[in-house]
Amino acid sequence: MSAAPTPVTIESVLELIRVQIEKSDQEAARRKEEFDRKLDRMVEADARRREEDARRREEDARRKEEIDAQFEKTTQAIEATTQAIEATTQAIEKTAKQIEQTNKDVGGLTGKVGDMVEKLVGEGNLVDQFRKLGHRVKAHSRKKVFGEKGTAESGEIDLFLEDGNVSILVEAKTTLKKDDVLDHLERLEKYRRCVDADGPSGKHFIGAVAGTVIAENVIDFAHEKGLYVIIQSARAVEILSQPEGFVAKKW
């Protein structure tokens, strides 16, 4: 015989309803909590996106400022380079004109030195003046070239006066300077080596420098080095008097 069914009472029904309501409330609370978490995540994600967007906008603005600044800097550099090129071009043009003028001047100076050497021998009667100093000059030549052309031991002598075993080597400048005297001393040394290249020649050389403008200190320096000094003016050519005790140096 089966057990008698439990009688349904109002209390049991109310308890069942209460349990169901409690379960529904718990499920509703769980879902609300889950929704709130999702909502929080969405809000946080949206906030991150907003922050990232703001950061990107700031980065874009910063990069734009850098690009604008670099562009401005580059523009200024291009303008400065253009100005520098224009200045360089003007300088080159000016230098070219100066070179052209210098070439003309050098050409004129070369002609003047050539005329000067001609006057030393011709109108200046330089040969007779050296003869009075005891040098028996028998022949002369202009622009005597020695040594192998293009080497350090080559050179050119403006005026070469021959006196048997002794020759006089003259360097002529419109304005004679101390450096010209030093150059001529070196030229005499080189000529000495050139002549003796194949053995002692038995010949000796003395030096002289000539100019239309010569400072007193240059005259004194040349005499100290044993060189004759020749001065040329519009009216005369003169071997200057040598100081007491002067002896022409022989190479």
pTM of model > 0.85: no
What's the start-to-end Cα distance of the chain, in Å? 163
Decide if 190 contacts 147 (C-beta within 8 A).
yes
HSE-up of 229 (CA within 13 Å, CB side)? 27
pLDDT of residue 22: 86
HSE-up of 199 (CA within 13 Å, CB side)? 0
Around Cβ 207, how many Cβ atoms within 10 Å?
25
pLDDT tens, position by position, 65-93: 888 888 888 888 898 888 889 888 888 88
pLDDT of residue 6: 66
pLDDT of residue 198: 78
Q: Single out the residue of 212, 211, 242 nearest to residue 227, CA to CA.
A: 242
Decide if 209 contacts 189 (C-beta within 8 A).
no
State the Cα–Cα distance between residues 79 and 92, nearest whole angstrom.
20
pLDDT of residue 121: 54
Per-residue pLDDT tens digits of the chain, which is 251 residues long: 556 666 778 888 888 888 888 888 888 888 888 888 888 888 888 888 888 888 888 888 888 888 888 888 888 889 888 888 988 888 888 776 766 654 454 444 444 555 666 566 554 578 888 989 998 888 888 888 998 888 889 999 999 998 888 899 999 998 999 999 999 999 999 999 998 887 787 889 999 999 988 999 999 999 999 999 999 876 578 899 999 999 999 99
Decide if 222 contacts 178 (C-beta within 8 A).
no
